[in-house]
Amino acid sequence: MAEAPTPLPPGSSIGVLGGGQLGRMLSVAASRLGLRCHVFEPGAEPPAGDVAHRVTMASYDDEAALRAFAESVDVITYEFENVPATSLDLLGSLAPIRPGRTALAVSQDRLDEKAFIADLDIPVAPHVDLGSPDDLAAALAEHGPGIVKTRRLGYDGKGQVRVTPGGDLAEATAVLTGTPTIFEALVPFEREISVIVARSLTGQVVCFDPGENVHRDGILHTTTVPARIEGATADAAAAIAARIVDAFDYVGVMGVELFVAADGDLVVNEVAPRVHNSGHWTIEGCVVDQFQQHIRAIAGWSLGDGRRHSDAVMTNLIGDDVETWQVLAAEAGAGVHLYGKGVSRPGRKMGHVTRLV
């Protein structure tokens, strides 16, 4: 048997690529475990900067800054998936990157991601790689209504256009002409769930209970735990998540989003190789939350058990929703989280609130 790796001791430094709210909550979790976060972020006044031990504000092509950052930390992780490959090459030559490069590269491209998951005999939405408007017409004829999605850089419903046979395809055609896209057939789901799964350096896998997700305008609105699904469906979803992290030889937390059909059949929508918005409820709902679980995993520690001690509903505060902070603060049982972002814009995640039920 391979020797167990030595866990990073308290006082060690974790490099975090990206300084948004996920980096902020990772930094808080690390500090609770006696570890320090050094955040690398190109943008000014990153939300994680308020709580991280150190911040490097530099661009991802600033080689000297990347080098100094990597040399100052014991392990590197990311909350931002679109870190350029060349930056990762340099960073990876200087410090371990966890989760590893493969999961990041595969999940950056919807087509590669679907191929990876389908190769594990896990169902994904029927899809077609679009090279031209003719491919789109053929896809619509074969599969019926669907969504044109950019292969890369799409999130929160961005880079997506709904299409129907006989409908106006001008917007979709404009998108697919400029950038690589896929057509995805509409999956007739009854509900959407996600599994937040963690895998340790020694291959221990722990799942949080699936949350049921409701989106508004393509952005997560609420996550409710437990999801309204059969126990067998929850077990099947956890088993799928475990197979995916094992196949990647993954270290850290991953969010696996799934569609649930009326008969309980599961289709994987997408995976995120990082802590996930639909796992924020774990801060109030579990002894060891997703952020601690991620830090534990990448630091080579044992994982917590992931058990939920309370049912919970997490609601995102998007854009102007954050203006209600005084009302929320007056609600004694509400776990209020504000991300310290100065300016609210429509669609911008400004905070969230978790209520135990």
Q: Which of residues 234-293 bind ligand AMP (CB under 6 A)?
A: 257, 269-270
User: Is residue 186 a contact residue for ligand AMP (CB under 6 A)?
Assistant: yes
Q: With CB under 6 A as the contact rule, which of the stretches 18-26, 57-65, 183-191, 343-351 interacts with ligand AMP?
A: 183-191
**Cα angle: 90, vertex 97, 155; to 5 degrees:** 95
Helix axes of 85-92 and 63-71: crossing angle, nearest 10 degrees: 40
Tokens 């896929």 belong to residue = 182
Give least dist CB 296 to ligand AMP, A: 27
Residue with tokens 């030595």: 6
Instruction: Please report how close the Cβ of residue 219 comes to ligand AMP at its closest, in angstroms.
Output: 8
Task: Choose between 125 and 286: whose C-beta lies nearer to ligand AMP.
Answer: 125
How many binding residues for ligand AMP (CB under 6 A)? 13
The interface mask with ligand AMP, positions 307-346, x = CB under 6 A, is: ----------------------------------------
Cα–Cα distance, 15 to 71 (Å, whole number): 10
Binding map of ligand AMP across residues 143-162, x = CB under 6 A, - = no contact: ----x------x--x-----
**Residue type at position 157:** G
Closer by beta carbon to ligand AMP, 276 or else 296: 276
Find the shortest distance in angstroms from Cβ 187 to ligand AMP. 4
User: Under the criterion CB under 6 A, does residue 125 sit at the interface with ligand AMP?
Assistant: yes
Residue 214 vs residues 159, 262, 315: alpha-carbon distances, Å: 19, 16, 10
Check: CB of residue 41 under 8 Å from CB of residue 57. yes
Buried b (16+ CB within 10 A) or exposed e, 230-249: eeebbebbbebbbbbbebbe
Using CB under 6 A, list all residues that contact ligand AMP.
Answer: 125, 147, 154, 157, 184, 186-187, 192, 215, 218, 257, 269-270
